[in-house]
Structure 1
Amino acid sequence: MIGSVAKGMKTGLTVLAATLALGACKTLETTPAAPLQQGYTCCNLHHEGDWISDSNYAGLPMVPAGTPVKVLSYGRYRAHVDMNGKPFRLGQDYGREQESTEKWVSKLVVTEDPKLKLASYPKAVQEAIKAGQLMKGMTKEQVIMSVGYPLTNENPSLDAPIWRYWRSSFDEYQVEWDKQGRVKNIAAHPMSLPLIEYKK
């Protein structure tokens, strides 16, 4: 009698475990994966080899704004992408606590080619953006196109009066905004400023 009860309980537990596993599989099947965006790079992105960090150090080689890009897959704090036929990894090194990797990547991969907006800017602004540099009077949109988004862990709000950027891990520069949302001042080490600020 006891053996029959134990056998019945064992069978019941097996059925329950199988049912739970099947339910988990169905849940996994119906959970949508992160969308694999494709479009264009929002802005000039700097890379070290195939690695593009959210630090976007200005002293590194540059992939220009408007480069065709397709997200191939997501990993832990990174996305594997194809940029105009070349493989790159977008790496979220610093802003992990402030926004998800998918949200960060969605800012970098845009559906509208920024080169269309670039063509509408004044000639000097166009030249500055193509050089990955800044100039006084630029709008926030133009600054982002030229040097990318500031690090979210250091710049929690784009409404802040100052944005912090870096040319390298030890070479910070700052963009100060006026009340109209245009660049009022660019502060940097005297040796770095000529590399950051565009001169007509």
Structure 2
Amino acid sequence: MYRKNVLSAVLALGLLTTMSAQAEVVFAQANFLLNKNQLSAVNYRGKGTNIPVGAKVEVLKRDDDEVRCKVVDSGAEFRFVTHRSLGKPIAVLFAGFFAKDDPAARIAALSPEDQKQVRAGELARGMSREAVLLALGPPPPHRTPSYQSNRWTYWSSKLSTFEVVFGEDGKVASFSNEPVAAPAPTPAPAEKFFHATANFHFEEGTVSWVNYLKGPILPFNTRVEVLDKGSSKVKFKVVDSGQEFVFENDSRSGADTWKLFQAAFAPEDQASKLEALTAEDRKKVSASEVEPGMSRAAVRMAWGPPPPHETPSFDSSTWTYWKTKLSKVHVKFGKDDKVASIE
């Protein structure tokens, strides 16, 4: 009996050892901040509980939309979550935060001053790109698609950003939580007449890039004239009435103002696109209504393009619109590319 118990204990110990050996352990590649036991792939740099660079982290479970982890030293568990606006698989994003290689060698290769800033998780002028990456982690890829960019944009919170600006020597020239000065407005484009590609709501003469589904409407195919083009606004007027409007963008969109305007207003007359729809869909577009059974093209004309930070692709099975700043509408498409439900 004694031998049997000893054998069982040895086998159990071997099993535990094997399971432990199979545990996926990775290293934090920068200083990261947890907010309510959650680490966002947006890499918010405001307040939170710090995971220091080089910390050992055990991966507990990987899913399509999150990775559950545990800090080895403290035992604190957290969730690594993504955001659809980032446009990359969660596994790719996670690899930029945690990797099998200890970053100690990368830190040791830095200058003594850069090493100090990395350990403190702080920025300073003169830091190299590598030092910033180790101190703060990767900037969100939808605003900084390349580490070779001279400007890296980080988020302090969901509504606040700051930029790290690198000089020609590849070192930090400046950084600030204050908004970056807007470039001087560029001249209006040679093509100045455009047509509304959808029904667009406006409020007090402003058409928002979010396209809130409330307020008076500029009807589909309304012909407009561009008066001025700026970094965050495009001023235009309706040709028939002479009424002036402003198309307004802000930092939340993560997109160029002129590109957003061109998605809303096109040089080509849109009448033929409307005629290509079914009679029922044309009726709904004219009424600015969306109902089950409508095609994607009809929804696009009735309500306009969904804001890109929530619906980065028109091929998505769900398009998210805003009724107000606090109320969303989800248009879900079936396999036949027709509206299946509106929630």
TM-score, with length taken from structure 1: 0.71
1:167 aligns with 323
Alignment of 1:178 onto 2:308 = no
1:43 Cα offset (Å): 0.5
1:11 aligns with none
1:78 aligns with 233
Matches within 5 A, 1:21-60: 33=187, 35=189, 36-60=191-215
Q: Percent identity?
A: 27
- Find the aligned partners of 1:111 and 1:95 in 2 and give their Cα distance: 26
2:18 aligns with none
Question: Residue 248 of structure 2 aligns to which amino acid in structure 1?
Answer: G
- Find the aligned partners of 1:117 and 1:94 in 2 and give their Cα distance: 31
Alignment of 1:132 onto 2:288 = yes
- Find the aligned partners of 2:300 and 2:207 in 1 and give their Cα distance: 16
Give the secondary structure class of the aligned counterpart of 1:175: strand
Alignment of 1:101 onto 2:257 = yes
CA contact (8 A) 1:55 1:93 kept: no
Question: Residue 104 of structure 1 aligns to which amino acid in structure 2?
Answer: L
1:120 Cα offset (Å): 3.7
1:121 Cα offset (Å): 2.5
Q: Which runs of 4+ in 1 moved over 4 A?
A: none
- Alpha-carbon deviations, 1:163-198, whole Å to 9, x = none? 1111112221101112232211111xxxxxxxxxxx
1:88 Cα offset (Å): 0.3
Structure with greater helix share of residues? 1
1:101 Cα offset (Å): 0.7
TM-score, with length taken from structure 2: 0.43
Aligned residues: 155
Return closer, same or farther for 1:68/1:158 CA change in 2, 3 Å cut-off: same
- Find the aligned partners of 2:236 and 2:248 in 1 and give their Cα distance: 11
Indicate the structure (1 or 2) with the bigger Cα radius of gyration.
2
- Find the aligned partners of 2:252 and 2:268 in 1 and give their Cα distance: 25
- Find the aligned partners of 1:94 and 1:147 in 2 and give their Cα distance: 22
Instruction: Work out which of the residue numbers 126, 146, 156 in structure 1 matches 2:312.
Output: 156
Give the secondary structure class of the aligned counterpart of 1:76: coil
1:88 aligns with 245
- Find the aligned partners of 1:33 and 1:80 in 2 and give their Cα distance: 12
- Find the aligned partners of 2:250 and 2:298 in 1 and give their Cα distance: 24
1:33 Cα offset (Å): 4.8
Question: Residue 308 of structure 2 aligns to which amino acid in structure 1?
Answer: T
RMSD: 1.9
Q: Which runs of 5+ in 1 are unaligned?
A: 1-31, 188-200
